[in-house]
Amino acid sequence: MADNPNPNIDETDAIPAQVPAKKKGVKRRIFLAGSALLVGGGVFGLYWSDSNAGKHARALTETGAGERNFLTWMKIAPDDTVTVYSPHIDFGQGTHTALGQMLADELDADWSKVRVEQAPADMAFANTPLVKSFLGEMSGYPGVISALPAALMGMLARSQKIQITGGSSAVRFTGQGGMRVVGAAVRAALIEEAADRLGVPAGELTTADSAVTHAASGRSLRYGELAAGAAGRSLASDPVLKSRAEWKLINKPVIRRDIPAKVDGSAIYGIDLSLPDMRVATIAAAPVRGGKLEAVDEAPALAVPGVEKVVKLDDAVIVVAKGYWQALKGLNALSPKFTDGGNGAMSTPSIYAAQDKLREAGKPDNTAGDGDVDAAFKAAGDKVISADYRVPFLHHAMMEPFALTAHFKDGKLTLWGGLQDPLGARDRAAKAAGIDMDDVIFNPMIMGGGFGRRFPPMTEIIDQAALLAKQVPYPVKLVWSREEEVRHGTYRPQSSARLKATLENGRIAAWQNDYVQGDNAEGEVGFIYEVPATARRHFAYKSNQNDGPWRSVNSTQHGFYNESFVDELAYAAGEDPFAFRRKHLPEGSRHRKVLETVAERAGWGSPLPEGVGRGIAIVESFGTIVAEVVEATVKEDGSPKVLKAFAVVDCGTTVNPLNAEAQIAGGIIMGLSSAIGEAITLDNGAVVESNFSDYNVLKLADAPPVIDVHFIESDAAMGGIGEPGLPPASPALANALLAATGKRIRTLPLLQQAKA
Amino acid sequence: MAIGFTVNGKQVNVEAEADTPLLWVLREDLALTGTKFGCGIAACGACSVHVDGELTRSCSVPVSDIAGKAVTTIEGLKSDDGALHAVQQAWIDAQVPQCGYCQSGQIMAAVALIERTGTPSDTQIDEAMTNICRCGTYPRIRAAILAATGQAAANIQGEA
């Protein structure tokens, strides 16, 4: 198309919005009617009509003269500046830019005068569309719910105290169900106001660049002039949204505004905060999770110059000093005694052994699937194909170590830092400090990464900072060392699976996945292939570690299991891995098109140099289908080397193609990194790894120099973009290494296996 | 002890324990927070600065070793009139940063590489750019270095 801004994106008309088998019965909140996107009237929920919340939000946001707030979502200033409030954190995934694009496009606002700000950590800005959409997904597609296991359920139970950033949810739920609708509704109100002021029918008015124009008389009114009148009007809850052809900002490459401050050192992250009279503290928690602090002699720390105080918590010791270095020296001078909480025998091998035993006992906690696998396996006799896969705990390794500043004064606790749910942070801090949530103020700051680590339910630093602040009269910034951060994570769980299948006439006749992990992955992780009999059996196992959501959550390990095993079946059937997958995907489906497109772009089947192999994988997660091809070889030292990577993505529509490309490429690199070198291991109940010296994060030299990312655009429901690039990367690499070396790797990370 | 050195062209005199890493003096005593703490063991490069023109991981250098030397941090890369360094501009043009936390160090490493090699090859980029980026911005880092040295066009075009 002539106006296609990105040659990597082809526009495909009229792809039917396919509902895969696993999503039967889903009631979609957002549906297509003709060319206009309509959103159900109920999406707005509480704050669409709650005038008290509206008044409160106005008090918080109408800070400049003549500014007018609309529904807590945005305000217009007399100089036409539009400020959009994002309930989501932007930690580099580009959410603020994308949400701003969506609202500004429907509003017909001048993009140069649109600003996007983090919404205050206040109940008036609780993210109702997100909660509703998650609840909607729960009815037939509980994926994202189980993706954020007990944590999110707890949040839902706490009703609206939610401003979560996760589940690749910002654009597809808040953006589609909130930002676009608000933009369109406010635009309609501005037109009504202009029609009255100009004395002309609304139908004769047009909008562009933050102005309403009456072409016949040549008159025009700016949004800044109309805002006060429009703000008093009732807003439609189901305005007609623009069609794809009318978009000016959505699906266009827009430059991110947060980048200049990130290249000149001026961006202030949570760890950078400095306040008058502030002290800095650092902490050592019990090395074995579940252990308690038994005793500590404070004297050696207090003898270190600059150290002011030692604070004992139930399971940790904190040293407070003038600066971080003094605090760390003080902490290192201590010899605290901790108990092991009865977890001292826990180790990486003991966890795998316990998981094997649980699976062998054959009593699953949850079962899903279709058809009769038992009959198929019985009929196949000794022709059943089976393989066992194992994946380790993974650490988030966000580049900014945890830091949270707290000040307790006059019964109120004020916090500064970066967390993935500011309201949830207030809630947890209030509980820890034993005060009311109304007495906790949280100031969100930008974050150096998150990837699922910064959800308040798994974030002990909130309790630690709150308890510490109650014991000192000044503001105190609690900073975790990298060692503390590596050893006290909420990891992607160590887990394992036994895959079983039978083949009949070159097709998969039955497929079973017996997997052992904490949470039931059903719903989040579906099965995309056409197979008459399938069973997914979950065996629940918990170690002493905190399981947490890690970028792409359960799809990391299940992508590896499923896409490694289907590759094994292709070889068992004597067939090409691409052709074998293709014939098991429905004809005319989005999945088949994504797979075919990546094969074509990667030159699947073309000759490769000696020692180089090509692997393919396809995973659907968070509503987005991604297929990847990796070319890889093995270096002289036995370690894997990725040479090229290709990705084809169907997320319905990208909002900002520039940023979507970065998210997919980044997800691939994180997936390759985890597959190649990352593992948290346990010995005597404690984490063995300590820092980037032994937790191996991929560096530039080992990442593919260029990643070819291609989007298939359609009118299908919008999927997520932050997480779905990751899951196909590890199986595509393992499959490529099999093609290169003939060796099938079923236990991650590859580095340990390749050298074994 | 009192230690004197220059930071971004300005003379500074700080009172610090001799073993205090340069990183913490920059961040806490001089309020130059663009230089980041990532690991404390010189493994990730987030704290990279230049000392007498040499790329240095400031978390692992005692400030006493810096006496009399010239330190350049990310805040000192702009020219006196406030114009961005060519590498900083290339980072914006290629839309490199995501979370951005590691990028001060990445830029300091890239500037040192370019000052040393002029037009670095892919192999030289592989060898020199050993800083960790968890967001996975490596392909755009490479593209920005090539663009900053005239070896490739900055190919990102977007609405401002």
A442 and A372 together in one domain? no
Domain count within chain B: 2
Of A263, A305, A670, the CB nearest to B88: A263
A743 and A712 together in one domain? yes
Q: What is the pLDDT of residue A126?
A: 61
Domain presence at residue B117: yes
Domain presence at residue B156: no
Quickly state the pLDDT bin for A25 (edges 50, 70, 90): very low
Instruction: State how far residue A336 is from chain B, nearest Cα, in angstroms.
Output: 22
Q: What residue in B sits closest to A110 (Cα-Cα)?
A: B160
A491-505, A522-536, B20-34: range with lowest mean pLDDT: A522-536
In three state form, how does the secondary structure of A19-63 look? CCHHHCCCCCCEEEECCEEEECHHHHCHHHHCHHHHHHHHHHHCC
B residues 20..79 contacting A (CB < 8 A):
20-21, 24, 27-29, 31-41, 43-44, 46, 73-75, 77-78
3-state secondary structure of A133: helix
Q: Residue type at A650? A: D
Domain presence at residue A505: yes
Q: What is the pLDDT of residue A238?
A: 79
Q: What is the pLDDT of residue A45?
A: 29
| Cβ–Cβ contact A300 with B under 8 A | no
pLDDT at A214 > cutoff 90 = yes
Chain A residues within 8 A of B27 when measuring between CB atoms: 272, 324
B97 and B58 together in one domain? no
In degrees, to the nearest 5, what angle opens at C-alpha A437 toward C-alphas A447 and A459?
Answer: 40
Q: What is the pLDDT of residue A53?
A: 59
Q: What is the pLDDT of residue A167?
A: 62
Q: What is the pLDDT of residue B134?
A: 98
A residues 2..21 contacting B (CB < 8 A):
5
A293 and A389 together in one domain? no
Chain A residues within 8 A of B39 when measuring between CB atoms: 482, 691-692
Mean model confidence pLDDT for chain A: 87
Name the residue among B7, B85, B150 with its Cα closest to residue A260. Answer: B85
- What is the phi/psi pair of residue A284, to 5°? -130, 120
Q: Following DSSP, what letter does each residue of A428-443 receive, concatenated? A: HHHHHHTS-GGGEEEE
Instruction: State how far residue A62 is from chain B, nearest Cα, in angstroms.
Output: 26
pLDDT at A223 > cutoff 80 = yes
A129-133, A165-169, A594-598: range with lowest mean pLDDT: A129-133
Domain presence at residue A292: yes
A611 and A628 together in one domain? yes
Domain count within chain A: 3
Quickly state the pLDDT bin for A125 (edges 50, 70, 90): low
Chain A residues within 8 A of B29 when measuring between CB atoms: 323
A677 and A574 together in one domain? yes
Residue A68: which CATH number? 3.30.365
Q: What residue in B sits closest to A445 (Cα-Cα)?
A: B99
Name the residue among A78, A80, A75 with its Cα closest to residue A112. Answer: A80
Domain that holds residue A454: 270-341+402-479
Q: Which of B76, B97, B131 is the last residue of a domain?
A: B76
Q: What residue in A sits closest to B86 (Cα-Cα)?
A: A263
Q: What residue in B sits closest to A395 (Cα-Cα)?
A: B134
B6 and B58 together in one domain? yes
Give Cβ neighbours of residue A676 (< 8 Å, ≥ 6 apart): A639, A640, A642, A696, A698, A702, A733, A749, A750, A751
- Is the Cβ–Cβ distance between A346 and A542 less than 8 Å? no
Q: What is the pLDDT of residue A86?
A: 84
| Cβ–Cβ contact B141 with A under 8 A | yes
Q: What is the ipTM of this complex?
A: 0.97
Domain presence at residue A168: yes
| Cβ–Cβ contact A481 with B under 8 A | yes
| Cβ–Cβ contact A303 with B under 8 A | no
Of B28, B126, B138, the CB nearest to A324: B28
Domain that holds residue B141: 86-148
Which residue has better confidence, A44 or A385? Answer: A385
Contact check, Cβ <8 Å, A91/B99: yes
Domain presence at residue B111: yes
Cβ-Cβ contacts under 8 Å between A and B: the total is 203
Chain A residues within 8 A of B28 when measuring between CB atoms: 274, 280, 323-324
- Return the number of other C-beta atoms located less than 10 Å from residue B79's C-beta: 8
| Cβ–Cβ contact A259 with B under 8 A | yes
**Residue A734, Cβ density class (10 Å: 0-12 exposed, 13-18 middle, ≥19 buried):** buried
A residues 409..438 contacting B (CB < 8 A):
none
Peptide bond into B120 cis (omega under 30): no
Q: Which of A224, A252, A280 is the last residue of a domain?
A: A252
Quickly state the pLDDT bin for A135 (edges 50, 70, 90): very low
Q: In chain B, which residues have pLDDT < 50?
A: none
A647 and A564 together in one domain? yes
B69 and B98 together in one domain? no
Domain presence at residue B159: no
Residue B11: which CATH number? 3.10.20.30
- What is the phi/psi pair of residue A201, to 5°? -65, 145
DSSP A718: P
Of B39, B97, B139, the CB nearest to A263: B97
Residue B144: which CATH number? 1.10.150.120
Q: What is the pLDDT of residue A128?
A: 54
Name the residue among A720, A588, A712 with its Cα closest to residue A650. Answer: A712
B64 and B113 together in one domain? no
Q: DSSP H helical segments within A399-538, as ranges?
A: 422-433, 461-469, 482-487
Contact check, Cβ <8 Å, B125/A700: yes
Q: What is the pLDDT of residues A410-438, one digit of tens each?
A: 999 999 999 888 888 999 999 999 999 99
Share of chain A above pLDDT 90, in %: 74
A646 and A741 together in one domain? yes
| Cβ–Cβ contact A459 with B under 8 A | no
Name the residue among A453, A452, A451, A446 with its Cα closest to residue A96. Answer: A446
Contact check, Cβ <8 Å, B32/A265: yes
Q: What is the pLDDT of residue A119?
A: 79
Q: What is the pLDDT of residue A205?
A: 98
B30 and B57 together in one domain? yes
pLDDT at A133 > cutoff 90 = no
| Cβ–Cβ contact A266 with B under 8 A | yes
Domain presence at residue A204: no
* Crossing angle of helices B138-148 and B103-117, rounded to 10°: 40
Q: What is the pLDDT of residue A52?
A: 57
Placement of tokens 């032994």 in the chain? A694
Instruction: State how far residue B51 is from chain A, nearest Cα, in angstroms.
Output: 18
Which residue has better confidence, A589 or A720? Answer: A589
Mean pLDDT, rounded, for A115-137: 63
3-state secondary structure of A265: coil
Domain presence at residue A22: no
- What is the phi/psi pair of residue A417, to 5°? 165, -175
Q: What is the pLDDT of residues A572-588, one digit of tens each?
A: 999 999 999 999 999 99
Q: What is the pLDDT of residues A435-485, one digit of tens each?
A: 999 999 999 899 999 999 998 888 999 999 999 999 999 999 999 999 999
Q: What is the pLDDT of residue A168?
A: 65
| Cβ–Cβ contact A299 with B under 8 A | no
Name the residue among A288, A294, A392, A390 with its Cα closest to residue A345. Answer: A288
Domain presence at residue A182: yes
A530 and A381 together in one domain? yes
Contact check, Cβ <8 Å, A92/B129: no
Q: Which of B42, B76, B110 is the last residue of a domain?
A: B76
pLDDT at A626 > cutoff 50 = yes
Copy the structure tokens of residue A466.
Answer: 């709150």
B72 and B98 together in one domain? no
Domain presence at residue A260: no
Which residue has better confidence, A59 or B158? Answer: A59
- What is the phi/psi pair of residue A434, to 5°? 70, 35
| Cβ–Cβ contact A442 with B under 8 A | no
Q: What is the pLDDT of residue B158?
A: 63
| Cβ–Cβ contact B112 with A under 8 A | no
Start-to-end C-alpha separation, chain A: 52
Name the residue among A707, A599, A592 with its Cα closest to residue A644. Answer: A707
A475 and A508 together in one domain? no
Q: What is the pLDDT of residue A131?
A: 53
Give Cβ neighbours of residue A204 (< 8 Å, ≥ 6 apart): A214, A215, A216
Contacts 24+ apart (CB under 8 A), A631-640: A631/A602, A631/A736, A632/A733, A632/A736, A632/A737, A632/A740, A633/A740, A634/A737, A634/A740, A634/A741, A634/A754, A637/A755, A638/A754, A638/A755, A639/A676, A639/A751, A639/A754, A639/A755, A640/A676, A640/A733, A640/A737, A640/A750, A640/A751, A640/A754
Quickly state the pLDDT bin for A171 (edges 50, 70, 90): confident
A357 and A474 together in one domain? no
Domain presence at residue A461: yes
Q: Which of A219, A252, A285 is the last residue of a domain?
A: A252
Of A92, A249, A326, the CB nearest to B97: A92
B97 and B69 together in one domain? no
Chain B residues within 8 A of A92 when measuring between CB atoms: 97-100, 135
Cα–Cα distance measured from residue B70 to residue B56, given in angstroms and rounded to the nearest whole number: 12
Give Cβ neighbours of residue A382 (< 8 Å, ≥ 6 apart): none
Tallying the residues shown for chain A, one arrives at 756
Residue A656: which CATH number? 3.30.365.10
What does the buried/exposed string (b/e) look like for A284-316 if buried means 16 or more CB atoms within 10 Å of the residue's CB? bbbebbbbebeebebebbeebebbbbbbebebb
Cα–Cα distance measured from residue A639 to residue A616, given in angstroms and rounded to the nearest whole number: 20
Q: A284 forms bridges with which residues in the sheet?
A: A317
Instruction: State how far residue A648 is from chain B, nearest Cα, in angstroms.
Output: 17
Tallying the residues shown for chain B, one arrives at 160
pLDDT at A36 > cutoff 60 = no
The pairing of beta strand A316-321 with beta strand A82-86: unpaired
Q: What is the pLDDT of residues A547-578, one digit of tens each?
A: 989 999 999 999 999 999 999 999 999 999 99
Q: Following DSSP, what letter does each residue of A79-92 receive, concatenated? A: T--EEEEESS--SS
Q: Which of A445, A479, A513 is the last residue of a domain?
A: A479
Per-residue CA distances from A590 to A66, A511, A593, B65 (Å): 49, 22, 5, 61
Cα–Cα distance measured from residue A518 to residue A542, given in angstroms and rounded to the nearest whole number: 5
A472 and A518 together in one domain? no
Chain B residues within 8 A of A326 when measuring between CB atoms: 17
Domain presence at residue B136: yes
A306 and A413 together in one domain? yes
Q: What is the pLDDT of residues A312-324, one digit of tens each?
A: 999 999 999 999 9
